[in-house]
Amino acid sequence: MAREELLAGLAEIAGAENVCTNEQMSRHTTFRIGGAADYFVAPASAEELQGVVRFLNKRDVPFYVIGNGSNLLVSDRGIRGAVVQLYGRFSRIEVLHADSGCGSAVDKAGRVYLLAQAGASLAAVGSYAAELSLEGFEFASGIPGTVGGAVVMNAGAYGREIKDVLVRATVMEKATGNVLEVDAEDMDFDYRTSSVEGNGWIVLDAVIALKPGNRRQIQEYMAQLAESRRQKQPLNYPSAGSTFKRPEGHFAGKLIEDAGFKGFSAGGAQISEKHAGFVINTGNASAKDVIELTDRVAAGVFERYGVKLELEIRLLGF
C-alpha cells in the first residue's frame, strides 16, 4: 500500500494532525534515543484505537503501542511499521460510581475506585488521588511512566506494585481489535511482568482501588518519596529508569558498583555515578552505545559474581 494512502487512512481515523511519518522516536522516549518510525499515530479514544488497529492489521503493517516511552530503548535504525502512542490524548482519570459495576464511590470495605486510561501518567493519577484525599497510590506517583505500561510491567516501588491496587483492566486484542475486561487475578502478575504482552493485549484503562485518607499526610508522603528519588537517582539526565531487573537475593545497582562499573561509559551512555542501577544519556548516546554498555556490565557482573543481570528496559526496533 502506498505511503500516501496509508497516511490518509490513518488520518481519517485519528485526525491528520495526529498522524505523521518518519517521526524521530528520540522525541518520544525519556532516554532521548531512537531513530525514525515509519508511521506515528496518536488516537484519542478506544474507538479511534480500534479503528487504527484494524486498519493496520488489514494492511499487514506491524505496529507497536507505547505510552510516554519511559522504559524504552528504540533502535538507532528506528521502527519499521507504525508506532501508536496513547500518552497525552488518551489520559482521562475519573472516580467510578454506582453505575460502573464497582459499587458506589465508597464501597463496604471503605475503598474508592478510580478509572485511569492507559495514557495517563502515574504522576497524574497520584496527584488526582491526593487531591481527593485517597491513599494507596503514593508509591507509584514518582514512577515516570503511564498506567498502561505500569500494568504491563507490574511497575512498583517502595515495596508495593500495581497488582496491589489494580481491580481490573480493559484491554484490546492486538490481532482483532476486540475489547475485553480482565480481572487483576487473571493477569498473572509477577516481578515486572504480567500476561498482557503474552496474550497480545493492549491496555486501554485500569480500575484501581484506594482508601480515603488525610490529604496533607498523603501529599507529605509523596513529597518525601519525590525527595528520596531526587537524592538517590540521576534525574538530571535522560534515562529509562532502572536499567536491570533486581536479581533474586541481590540489588543490581550494588552488584554493578561493586564490580567497578560505576561511571563506566560507552560512547554517550554511562553507568550513573549517582546510582549504578541507571544507564544515563550524557548528551549524545546512541542505542548502540547503551547495548554495548549493558552487555559489558552484565558480562562483568556475571564473571565476578555469577549473577545474571536481565534488562528491565524494553527494546524496540532491534
- Residues marked active site are found at 192, 242, 312
DSSP H stretches of helix in 243-286: 252-258
How many C-alpha atoms does 165 have within 13 Å on its Cβ side? 35
Instruction: Report d(CA 130, CA 66) in Å as an integer.
Output: 26
d(C-alpha 285, C-alpha 216), whole Å:
41
Contact 293, 299 (CB under 8 A): no
User: Which DSSP letter does residue 69 get?
Assistant: -
Whole-angstrom Cα distance, residue 52 to residue 68? 19
Distance CA 302, CA 69 (A): 29
* Residue with cell string 488518551: 90
Helix 215-232 vs helix 122-131: crossing angle, to nearest 10 = 150
User: For residue 78, how far is the Cα from the chain centroid?
Assistant: 19
**Structural element, H or E, at residue 230:** helix 215-232
